[in-house]
Chain A
Amino acid sequence: MRTPLRPLARILDARQKGENPDLIERENLARRHDAMREKSQPRASARLGLLALAFGCAYLTIGVRMGHLAASEPVEPVASAPGAEIVAQRADITDRNGRILATNMTTSALYAHPKEMVDPKGSARKLAVIFPDLNAEDLEKRFTDGRRFLWVRKVLSPEQMQAVHEIGDPGLLFGPREMRLYPNGSLAAHVLGGYSFGAEGVHSAEVIGTAGIEKAMDARLRDPAQAGQPLELSLDLTVQATVEEVLSAGITMLNARGGAAIVMDVRTGEIIALASAPTFDPNNRPVPLVGKDDEASDSPLFNRAVQGVYELGSAFKIFAAAQAMELGLVSPDTMVNANAPMTWGKYRIKEFEGKNYGPMLSVRGVIEKSSNVGTANIALMIGPQRQQAFLKSLGFFEPTPLELIEAPGARPLIPKRWPEIVTITTSYGHGMSASPMHLAAAYASIANGGIYVKPTLLKQNGPASGVRVMSEKVAKDSVAMLRSVVTDGTASLGEVKGYEVAGKTGTADKPKKSGGYYKDKVINTFAATFPASSPRYVVIVTLDEPADTSGPKPLRTAGWTSVPVTAEMIRRIAPLLDVRPIVEPVTGAALTAAAN
């Protein structure tokens, strides 16, 4: 019931009394306002309370969330499925046909927390039984000297791991390890090199290359983006195995200290096989020799094909002949002075065993018979400057650009000054030293029609482009001369039926440390290419101190040592390399029609 502000009865009454009726209205209005205030106050305070509660809740939520974020491990929000996990931390190495040369294996490392060990003495004893190379007393001392952490083994085989499990000591712990495995053992050991662990942790360890291509291509092999793609080498596993077999058989038969062999594709520059003997197992790389009197070349780690810098002897003669032909000074049939011995200043240039092939000999004859005097006269026609420039263009003045960590260190030994006597000696491969790999690249350049090919260990997709170092005709004539060395000259044992082997022998006396040369120690080289009509491969075989002792007198010339080894090598590898032999046609009588 709403009270009127100006009730008529009271107004009339007040008017009669002469009072102000407005006062009544104001009084009523004030009374009404009071009532309204009383009514709305609880509602307002309830609303305020609710609002305070809402704010309180909001602050509490934010506070709790902030506390949680501060106290918990940060986790990235996952909006999509994780990508494929990295398969291996180091890419595989395969040969040109995809056969594995190096791969990874997951294994375990053994470490110890001596403080947590129950029976350090017993465990040490049992570990020494499992690992015969560990000493029980040493191990026990290390377990009890108060240290908290100790590496016991870097890699374990599954059997060893099981045996350690069976000891059952809680202080012996395993960490996962990825190790490098070379399943072919010592095959291509000098190319592959070896591995070791870099930074080591309990949960993983870095695998790093220590030598060979493993070190040279370390960045590529460790690149996570390319971990799934194997590194394809130019080597052919089968050819490599055959080359190593033949080389080691040759070394045993000829009592050589060591040897090296290279098979190179002349069109692409790919190294199909690279062997150096003695060799080693990259799975268990031996320690380098550190003794004072040890020669680096005595270590099996020494790569004779790449690191071995030798005076390569008469194999160099073809370069003088080729250059003289390129300069138009001679043709294969030009007669040159080969009257031995030749006197130059205080030096006397002699032939092998004091022979004399002179007085005049054709350029082809000089190469066939390997005449030092003839070559010296050809080199004198060329002159020192041009000779140096030509050898430089064949890569003899720089280390080979091979993808091995050892390659850049194998710098050829070049005489500082180049007087005419050096021109003479260099023309027949003395006075300057280079590695068999240099020789392979230079011979490949001749066999490739005169275009320099860069040797490489990585698989190529097509013929390499290079600088022309001699005309195609000169290259062809040079190969023909090399062919006549095998058919009529010093390398007659190098003939392989059907494969037209062409090559040049080189017998160089080994230099003494004290100066001068040994009389009975030689480095024998045979640099060959086949088939001569269209050369596809170059084969270099170098033997260190070989001697054919089957006869009454030991034979030390390359013609009796490196040449037969090379011939056997070519006979075995050429069919594997898909080189079709030039077969004589079978006569009709050989095959007759079957009876039915």
Chain B
Amino acid sequence: MRPVLYVFTFLSVIALGFWAYRENYATQEVLREVRVLQREIAGLREGLSVQKAEWAWLNRPDRLRDLVSLNFERVPLMPMEPGQFGATASVVYPVPEVPAIELPEGVGAVETTSATEEEGL
């Protein structure tokens, strides 16, 4: 019994050692990958900030103003003015024309009857 236990212990030590060895290298590999990804993210972030800066630069007010005056014939844009505001209450809504309601035959008669009945009561 004892030799079996010895052999088993020995084998399990070897197996664990092998596992730890592999785990160590796998971890190092993952860390390397993370570093590469972080660098890539940093690069992309930098690219993003350049894009943002370029967007801000292309949309700077004096350039937009020049573009508006250049393209005034095609797109006549004017500065916003107080006259362009309005209150919703001041908008007159057209009253929709509703066709006259025609009551089906007999309905009117019934109503008249009930009306007379009520009067009678």
Binding site for B on A (CB under 8 A): 78, 81-82, 84-85, 87-88, 99-100, 103-106, 181, 183-185, 187, 237-238, 241-242, 245, 496-499, 571-572, 574-576, 580-581, 583, 585-586, 588, 590-594
- Given A78-B31, A100-B53, A586-B92: A184 touches B65 (CB 8 Å cut-off): no
Q: Could you jot down 9 A-B contacts, CB within 8 Å?
A: A87-B49, A103-B49, A104-B49, A184-B57, A185-B62, A245-B65, A572-B81, A576-B80, A583-B85
B91 at the interface (CB under 8 A from A): yes
- Segment of B14-22, B39-47, B103-111 in the binding face: B39-47
Q: Are B53 and A581 in contact (CB under 8 A)?
A: no
Minimum CB distance partner of B48 in chain A: A87
Q: Please give the distance in Å from A112's CB to the nearest CB on chain B.
A: 26
Q: Tell me the complex Cα distance, A581–B81, Å.
A: 10
Q: Please give the distance in Å from B59's CB to the nearest CB on chain A.
A: 8
Q: Please give the distance in Å from B51's CB to the nearest CB on chain A.
A: 11
Q: Are A575 and B80 in contact (CB under 8 A)?
A: yes
Q: Please give the distance in Å from B88's CB to the nearest CB on chain A.
A: 11
Residue from B61, B82, B95 in contact with A499 in the complex, judged by beta carbons closer than 8 Å: B82
Q: Tell me the complex Cα distance, A339–B43, Å.
A: 75
Interface of B is mostly: helix
- Given A81-B34, A185-B60: A583 touches B90 (CB 8 Å cut-off): yes
B49-75 vs A, CB cutoff 8 Å, 1 = contact: the mask equals: 110111011011110010000000000
Q: Are B82 and A99 in contact (CB under 8 A)?
A: no
Q: Are B38 and A84 in contact (CB under 8 A)?
A: yes
Residue from A184, A575, A594 in contact with B60 in the complex, judged by beta carbons closer than 8 Å: A184
Residues of A within 8 A of B87 (CB): 580, 583, 585
Q: Are B92 and A187 in contact (CB under 8 A)?
A: no
Within 8 A of A (CB), among B87-121: 87, 89-92, 94-95
B3 at the interface (CB under 8 A from A): no
Residue from A82, A245, A496, A576 in contact with B38 in the complex, judged by beta carbons closer than 8 Å: A82
Q: Please give the distance in Å from A595's CB to the nearest CB on chain B.
A: 10
Binding site for A on B (CB under 8 A): 30-31, 34-35, 38-39, 41-42, 45-46, 49-50, 52-54, 56-57, 59-62, 65, 79-87, 89-92, 94-95
- Given A183-B53, A583-B90: A575 touches B82 (CB 8 Å cut-off): yes
Residues of B within 8 A of A185 (CB): 60, 62
Minimum CB distance partner of B58 in chain A: A183
- Given A591-B91, A593-B95: A103 touches B31 (CB 8 Å cut-off): no
Q: Are A183 and B60 in contact (CB under 8 A)?
A: yes
- Given A183-B57, A237-B61, A581-B85: A85 touches B42 (CB 8 Å cut-off): yes
Q: Tell me the complex Cα distance, A497–B84, Å.
A: 12
Q: Tell me the complex Cα distance, A394–B62, Å.
A: 37
Q: Are A87 and B61 in contact (CB under 8 A)?
A: no
Residues of A within 8 A of B54 (CB): 183
Q: Are B89 and A585 in contact (CB under 8 A)?
A: yes
Residues of B within 8 A of A583 (CB): 82, 85-87, 90
Residue from B46, B83, B92 in contact with A588 in the complex, judged by beta carbons closer than 8 Å: B92
Q: Quick one: which of A99, A499, A592 has the most chain B CB within 10 A?
A: A99
- Given A78-B31, A106-B46, A581-B85: A586 touches B61 (CB 8 Å cut-off): no
Q: Please give the distance in Å from A179's CB to the nearest CB on chain B.
A: 11
Q: Tell me the complex Cα distance, A553–B86, Å.
A: 41
Q: Are A575 and B56 in contact (CB under 8 A)?
A: no
Q: Are A103 and B92 in contact (CB under 8 A)?
A: no
- Given A498-B82, A575-B85: A238 touches B45 (CB 8 Å cut-off): no
Residues of B within 8 A of A571 (CB): 81-82
Q: Please give the distance in Å from A364's CB to the nearest CB on chain B.
A: 27
Q: Tell me the complex Cα distance, A78–B30, Å.
A: 12
Residues of A within 8 A of B62 (CB): 185, 187, 241
Q: Tell me the complex Cα distance, A290–B86, Å.
A: 54
Q: Tell me the complex Cα distance, A585–B86, Å.
A: 9
Q: Are B56 and A100 in contact (CB under 8 A)?
A: yes
Q: Are B49 and A88 in contact (CB under 8 A)?
A: yes
Q: Tell me the complex Cα distance, A590–B91, Å.
A: 9
Q: Please give the distance in Å from A464's CB to the nearest CB on chain B.
A: 28
Q: Please give the distance in Å from B97's CB to the nearest CB on chain A.
A: 9
- Given A87-B45, A187-B61: A593 touches B94 (CB 8 Å cut-off): yes
Q: Are B35 and A82 in contact (CB under 8 A)?
A: yes
Q: Tell me the complex Cα distance, A184–B59, Å.
A: 8
Minimum CB distance partner of B62 in chain A: A185
Q: Please give the distance in Å from A65's CB to the nearest CB on chain B.
A: 17
Q: Tell me the complex Cα distance, A569–B13, Å.
A: 84
